[in-house]
Every structure is written in C-alpha cells, then in structure tokens.
Structure 1
Amino acid sequence: MKIDAHHHLWNPSRGDYDWMPMDNETLARSYAPPDLAPHLRTHGIDATVLVQAAATIHETEYMLGLADATPFVAGVVGWVDFENPSDVETLSRLSRHPKFKGIRPMIQDIPDDDWMLRDDVQWGFGAVCDLDLTFDALGFPRHLANFLTILKRYPDMRVVVDHCMKPQIRDHSEANFRFWADGMTRIATETKACCKFSALVSEASPDWTVEHLRPYADHVFKVFGPSRVMWGSDWPVCRLAASYQDWHAAAEVLTENLNTEQRAEIFGGTAARFYRIGG
C-alpha cells in the first residue's frame, strides 16, 4: 500500500483558516477530493491522511464528513482545544469515528514557545494517550527541546514529527543545520516518535534543487530509520514551492540510495502502522 501521509482539503468560505492570506491565489481557493484524486492515480497512491488546517472543532467535523464520502481518505488528524479541558468529551466522541486517528495543535502559530509545557494543557496529552490516539507535532526547530520534554513526559504517546520540524533550508548555515540536526537526533534516539518526510520544498528557497534538500533528508533517514519515516505531499500547501509531481519526484530521488524495502516503508509502510491503516 502506498500512502500520502499528510495533505489538506479546505474551503476558505468556511471562515476559520485564520492563517491563510486571502489574497493568495494558490491557497485561498477550495481544494476538494476531486482536485487531489488525479495526483493519487498518477503516482499509484492507495490511501491518504487528511490533516487539519484550522484550529476549530468545526474543521475536524468537516474533514470527517469528507472522509466519509471519500474512499481514499483513510485517516483524519483533527483538532481540539487544549485550553478547554471539557474538550476531552469531544475528543472521546471523535475517537469513536473509524477514520479519526488523532490530533494536531497548531503549535507553530502559538506565540508562546513554552505553551506545550503549561500545566493547563497537559490534560490534552494525557487524553491522547488514554484514548490511544496519535499526535502530530507541528513546530519549528526552536520547538525541538520542548517537544523532546513532552515526548519523554508521555512515552506511550504515538507521535509523528510533522514536516521534519521545518528546518530553515532557505537560510542554510552550518550553525542552523547543526541546531536542527542535533534536536532531531535527540528526538529520534530518546523517543519512539516517527517523522514525516514532507514540506522540505516549502522551507527551501524558490530556486530549490534536490541537492539543497538532501542533507536534511539524509539526516532524517539516518537517525529515524526508514521504518519511522513516512512521506507526505503537504498538498496543496506544497504548491507554493512545487507541484505534487515535482515534490514526489524529488522524494523519489532523495530515497534512491535506499533499498526496495526501505522505500516501501517511507512511501507507505510506516504510515500504515502508525495510523493503523489497512490492517
């Protein structure tokens, strides 16, 4: 099974995509299952994981409705309000939906880098563990130390690091690379977390090449190992930097030194196990 482990579908007229610049012609338009389906057919992708893009329960309900009507959407990663402990009831209800897999707080957009360490949001991490759900860790390199703290505090939580924790490839320097690489190494070696091989093109310069991405991809493959890495398109956000085809092709080049079994893990096996798809 080949899986796109991270993509979005949205309709800006719903009104809760606060991060979205409404004057951006690429982003500020509706993206529905029929828009994605041709890309999946072209690349032989059997199933996908649909990930939240708005910090509302309404977004989660919207995605589950799309998943109910779309056979290729095998899993949904939604959102609940960690600052509202009563949302544990909502999370429990959502967990009973067969395609609901877990949650993703939009930590990269929260001004307080230490938000995840606050006492009043710890119930959320505990509930993820208690309900045996997944947690998508969305942040930047500056969040790596705090994520390591959380992952070690909740060792049974099933966690995947989104987008390789968004290394700042466009501002590449030895110091920046080492800061990111050291933080990722600690998460890989001190926790059981997986990593999404996605969005590297979005963090690179507009004139990116595969060689710009290679040091970052190689480091992720080395420290996590293919059995803990999953490919995702991050479509349609990736369209700001590359087409679905271009990013998929780059990912194939970046994995060409791996063997068939290792590539199968990255392009499907890891996601299938982590999100419990197809088995």
Structure 2
Amino acid sequence: MIIDAHQHFWRISRGDYSWMNDSVAEIRRDILPADLAPLTEAAGVGGTILVQAAPTTDETLFMLGLAEETPLVKGVVGWIDLEGDVDAQLERIAHPALRGIRPMLQDIEETEWVLRPAVLDGLRKLAAAGLRMDALITPRHLPVIDRLAREIPDLPLVIDHCAKPVFDGTDPGGDWRQGMTALAAHGQIACKLSGLANEYGPGWSADTLRPVFEHVVGTFGTGRVMWGSDWPVLELAGDYAGWLAAAQTLAEPLSGPERTALFGGAAARFYGLGA
C-alpha cells in the first residue's frame, strides 16, 4: 500500500489559517476528504498522514474529527503550544489517530526557538507520550535540529520537505548537504520526500530534483525517507499524479524493497501505523 506521508485539509471559515493570503489564492478554498479521494484512488494510495496547517489545538481537533470519518487518514500530526501547559493540551487532543506534533518553526523568527528550555521540556513530554515531531524547517535550522536530537535522543523527528533546499540554478549548496548528512547520523531522524516541486517552482521535473533525492536517500537510506504529496499546497506547482510519477521515476534505480519502504513502509514504521 502506498502511503502519502504528508497532506492537508482545511475549512476556511474556521478562521485560523493566517498564512492563507493572496499568494496562495489558487488553494484558498475549502479542501476536504472528498476532494482528495479521487486523486488517491487513481494513484493507488491507500493511506495518508494528515498534517496541521494552523497553529491551534482547535485545528488539531478538527483534523481528528475528519480522521474519525475518513478511513484514508491513518494518522494525524497536530499542533500544541510547546511553551504552554503541554499536559493539559495533550489531554485535550488525546486520540488514537494522533501520531505527532508540528511546531511551525519556519514561521518563527528566532531560529533557535525550539531549543528554549520550556520548549525542550514540552518536547520531552511528547516523547514520553509516544508522539513524534514533524520539523517544518529551512536550511537555517539544520544545526538547531542536530542539537535538538542530541538533547532529546528518544524523540522521533522527521524533516518535512527535505528542509526546503534552495534551488537557484545550481546544485543545492554545501551547507544544506552537510546539514542533512549530520541529521542522518541520528537514527531517530527521518526525512520526507515532499514539497520539492513547490521549492523548485516552474520547470521542476524528476531530473531537476534528482540531486536532492539522491542525497537524502544516500544519507538517510530508504528506511528513513518517506514520500509525501504536500497536497493541496502541491497544486501551486503541479498535481498529485505528476508528483507521484516523478518520485517513482526517481526511485527506479532502487530495489523493490527499497521502493516499498519509500512509498509506504518508512511512513508506517515512523508513525507507528501498525500499532
């Protein structure tokens, strides 16, 4: 079964999607399970991980409600205020479908915010509760996540969108490569092959993204790299079938078991979908 390790839903009237301005007008509409169903059915995708798109526990509850009525959704990555009362928030959103939490680090000006003592305490409580952290980061955060992994070695971490490498007409820079290699040395860290079409922009293809693919697979191994669509954000740069086809083209040199891991097994293990 193919698992899409990263997708979103939203209902605009909920009112907490502060990032949804005119720059994303093409996807500024209600997007719900019925919109994704024909795409996943056509692609042979049998399960997804639904990821937060707003920094509120109310949105997390909204997603958990969708998961209850949507068999396709196998797990939810929500949000809590890691500097607040973490125990009370985790109690409020406790649910069998909850698999992790995603602080929106890319939107926080303070690069080392996640290393604040209060935040580290909150993340230790996540780890103790059997939850994971999705790291929504850019290359400036790579050394920070390296330090985070050393601080809390029992917290499973997954890097969203390959840490958003910069495509400027050349191969992604040495700082990104070195940073990702350092993160791959931590067995608790995985990486999502997602979001790259949006980062590259017009003209993206399997060939243009191959250097990133080869580096993350070469460092993390297919057992810790998981394909995700980042749909519907993907629609700003491409389409569901096209991105899956590009990822499958990139994966052609891999063995059968390696492809199985990339397109499902790694996500199932990381998020504990068999538990």
TM-score, scaled to structure 2: 0.96
Give the structure 2 partner of residue 278 of structure 1. 274
- Output aligned runs, 1:178-257, within 5 Å: 178-257=174-253
Runs of 4+ aligned residues of structure 1 deviating over 6 Å after TM superposition are none
Give yes or no for contact 1:4–1:268 (8 Å, CA) kept in 2: yes
Give the aligned residue type for 2:142. Answer: L
- Listed one character per residue, the Cα deviations across residues 192-240 of structure 1 (whole Å, up to 9, x for unaligned) are 2111010111110312222110000000000000011110000000111
Give the structure 2 partner of residue 54 of structure 1. 54
Give the aligned residue type for 1:38. Answer: P
1:133 maps onto 2:144 in alignment: no
Give the structure 2 partner of residue 75 of structure 1. 75
Give yes or no for contact 2:49–2:77 (8 Å, CA) kept in 1: yes
Percentage identity across paired residues of the two chains: 47
Matched residue SS, 1:34: helix
Q: Any stretches of 5+ residues in structure 2 without a counterpart?
A: none
CA drift of 1:22 comes to: 4.5
CA distance in structure 2 between the partners assigned to 1:210 and 1:268 by the alignment = 20
- Listed one character per residue, the Cα deviations across residues 67-113 of structure 1 (whole Å, up to 9, x for unaligned) are 011011110000000121x1322214434x11111100000000111
CA distance in structure 2 between the partners assigned to 1:13 and 1:23 by the alignment = 18
- Listed one character per residue, the Cα deviations across residues 40-82 of structure 1 (whole Å, up to 9, x for unaligned) are 1111111110000000011000000100110111100000001
Give the aligned residue type for 1:229. Answer: V
- Listed one character per residue, the Cα deviations across residues 224-273 of structure 1 (whole Å, up to 9, x for unaligned) are 00011110000000111110111111101111110111000000001111
Q: Any stretches of 5+ residues in structure 1 without a counterpart?
A: none
Q: 1:159 aligns with which of 146, 157, 160?
A: 157
CA distance in structure 2 between the partners assigned to 1:20 and 1:114 by the alignment = 25
Q: CA RMSD in A?
A: 1.3
Give the structure 1 partner of residue 87 of structure 2. 88
Give yes or no for contact 1:152–1:191 (8 Å, CA) kept in 2: no
Matched residue SS, 1:190: coil
Shift in alpha-carbon separation, 1:152–1:23, aligned structure 2, 3 A: closer
Q: 2:265 aligns with which of 264, 269, 279?
A: 269
CA drift of 1:23 comes to: 6.4
Give the aligned residue type for 2:48. Answer: T
Give the structure 2 partner of residue 12 of structure 1. 12
Give the aligned residue type for 1:217. Answer: F
Give yes or no for contact 1:21–1:27 (8 Å, CA) kept in 2: no
TM-score, scaled to structure 1: 0.95
CA distance in structure 1 between the partners assigned to 2:186 and 2:235 by the alignment = 34
CA distance in structure 2 between the partners assigned to 1:131 and 1:277 by the alignment = 16
CA distance in structure 2 between the partners assigned to 1:92 and 1:24 by the alignment = 34
Shift in alpha-carbon separation, 1:172–1:184, aligned structure 2, 3 A: farther
Name the stretch that deviates more: 237-246 or 86-95. 86-95
CA distance in structure 2 between the partners assigned to 1:25 and 1:149 by the alignment = 37
Q: Report the number of matched residues.
A: 275
CA distance in structure 1 between the partners assigned to 2:89 and 2:205 by the alignment = 44
